[in-house]
């Protein structure tokens, strides 16, 4: 590191120590946004006087808006909102006079917005031409596997060596009340154990077969007397629900499509959740509900750093071709080979662990 860069780093550390604001940006994908929260916690712990703002698209911006670790959320305009909305966003960002801006996506749009903030110190990746929009680039070593650890590595530039903390999403009492009203209206018996599932997902290589979810739901109802609550993701309309009903039957409660905050509140009322690798899985963990995440082509080591924090388990089969990180596959052995009984055992395990943790907390 040359002397000029060392002086810049020393200056930004002094500014943050005095309370200068920080901007953290991860523009897209709900699960990825949640996995950046440990970085925000680490900044706040090292520089308790500084305010942390967040820059993201929907639904990440909507999720983080009330969170105590984040002072303010700046939503990136939707495509149909026009250039004027982006100009207004940039004006608001520049008014904040950030001492530090961190781009955890480093795509062309995020790099431009970070540059446009005018922040004195801008951290980002090493990709192509856009690296010139940062004052300092970060090359994360290949042996850092976890996505959350990958983000935290950016802070090494500031001399912060932080460990991963569990992401936390706080649900308000009013949001919880609305969730209970919704579940009651669907006929869910709140006195029973309640297990949420979401058989959907953007990519087929991340979706456990609906028939497997149906068998899991039937087993949980038969063995535990559990209520099964089915989530529906963005764009998964009535046809999707009809297909689920054909497989799962009418013994489950089918939720309408919910906002991300309302989905978090419902998850917070459940006893456990079983979700494919994606936003719903991360959201369930973040609200503290015992969770089983189902993995196909992707890696738990990268996307599921949660098992050490409580009743959270990853379900996968170690087939020879995984992880392939592909979005398409002609055999899906990694998902079709995942036995329902194995997932059911994990669900029962996290339910028991969650009950034990709750009992210990109550007695304490």
Read off the pLDDT of residues 71-105 as tens digits, 9 standing for 90 and up. Answer: 999 999 999 999 999 999 999 999 999 999 999 99
pTM (predicted TM-score): 0.94
What number is the average pLDDT over the span 34-40? Answer: 97
Those residues whose C-beta lies under 8 Å from the C-beta of residue 186, and which sit 6 or more positions away, are 229, 253, 254, 255
pLDDT in the model for residue 327: 73
pLDDT digits (tens, 9 = 90+) for 130-187: 999 999 999 999 999 999 999 999 999 999 999 999 999 999 999 999 999 999 999 9
Those residues whose C-beta lies under 8 Å from the C-beta of residue 306, and which sit 6 or more positions away, are 166, 285, 291, 293, 312
Alpha carbon distance 208, 198 (integer Å): 10
Query: Measuring CA to CA, which residue among 259, 250, 312, 258 is closest to residue 286?
Result: 312
* pLDDT-based confidence at residue 363 (cuts at 50, 70, 90): very low
Q: Is the CB of residue 119 less than 8 Å from the CB of residue 98?
A: yes
* pLDDT-based confidence at residue 1 (cuts at 50, 70, 90): low
**DSSP, res 296:** S
pLDDT in the model for residue 242: 76
Give the CATH fold of the 3-158 domain.
Rossmann fold (3.40.50)
pLDDT in the model for residue 323: 76
* pLDDT-based confidence at residue 358 (cuts at 50, 70, 90): low
Examine the pLDDT at 237 and tell me if it is beyond 80.
no
**DSSP, res 22:** E
Examine the pLDDT at 332 and tell me if it is beyond 50.
yes
Examine the pLDDT at 57 and tell me if it is beyond 90.
yes
Could you tell me the sign of the dihedral formed by the alpha carbons of 310, 314, 318, 324, in that order? negative
Percent of the chain with pLDDT over 70: 96
**DSSP, res 320:** T
Q: Is the CB of residue 151 less than 8 Å from the CB of residue 35?
A: yes
- Which single residue is written with the structure tokens 């850092």? 144
Query: How many Cα atoms within 13 Å fall on the side-chain side of residue 26?
Result: 20
Examine the pLDDT at 301 and tell me if it is beyond 90.
yes
173-363 — its CATH code?
Answer: 3.40.50.2000
Do 173-363 and 3-158 have the same topology in CATH? yes
Alpha carbon distance 2, 50 (integer Å): 27
Examine the pLDDT at 244 and tell me if it is beyond 80.
no
Domain ranges of the chain: 3-158, 173-363
């Amino acid at each position: 590191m040359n002397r000029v860069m060392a002086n810049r780093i020393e200056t930004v550390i002094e500014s943050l120590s005095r309370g200068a604001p920080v901007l953290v940006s991860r523009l897209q994908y709900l699960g990825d946004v949640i996995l950046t929260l440990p970085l925000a916690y680490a900044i706040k712990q090292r520089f308790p006087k500084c305010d942390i703002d967040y820059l993201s698209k929907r639904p990440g911006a909507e999720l983080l808006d009330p969170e105590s670790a984040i002072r303010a959320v700046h939503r990136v305009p939707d495509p149909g909102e026009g250039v004027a909305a982006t100009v207004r966003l940039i004006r608001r960002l520049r008014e904040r006079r950030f001492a530090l801006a961190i781009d955890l996506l480093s795509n062309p749009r995020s790099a431009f917005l970070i540059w446009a903030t005018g922040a004195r110190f801008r951290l980002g990746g090493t990709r192509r031409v856009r690296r010139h929009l940062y004052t300092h680039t970060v090359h994360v070593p290949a042996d850092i596997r976890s996505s959350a650890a990958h983000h935290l590595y950016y802070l090494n530039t500031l001399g912060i060596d932080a460990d991963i903390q569990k992401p936390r999403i706080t649900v308000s009492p009013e949001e919880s009340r609305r969730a209970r009203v919704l579940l009651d209206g669907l006929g869910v018996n709140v006195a029973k154990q309640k297990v949420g599932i979401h058989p959907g997902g953007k990519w087929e290589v991340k979706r456990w077969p609906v028939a497997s979810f149906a068998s899991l739901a039937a087993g949980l109802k038969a063995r535990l007397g559990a209520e099964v609550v089915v989530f529906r993701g963005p764009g998964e309309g009535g046809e999707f629900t009809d297909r689920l009903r054909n497989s799962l039957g009418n013994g489950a409660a089918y939720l309408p499509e919910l906002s991300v905050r309302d989905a978090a509140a419902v998850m917070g009322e459940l006893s456990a959740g079983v979700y494919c690798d994606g936003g719903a899985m991360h959201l369930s963990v973040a609200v503290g509900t015992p969770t089983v995440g189902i993995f196909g082509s992707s890696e738990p080591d990268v996307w599921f750093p949660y098992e050490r924090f409580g009743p959270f388990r990853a379900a996968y089969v170690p087939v020879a071709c995984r992880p392939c990180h592909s979005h398409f596959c002609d055999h899906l052995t990694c998902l079709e080979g995942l036995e329902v009984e194995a997932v059911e055992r994990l669900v029962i395990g996290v339910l028991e662990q969650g009950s034990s943790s709750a009992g210990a907390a109550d007695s304490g």
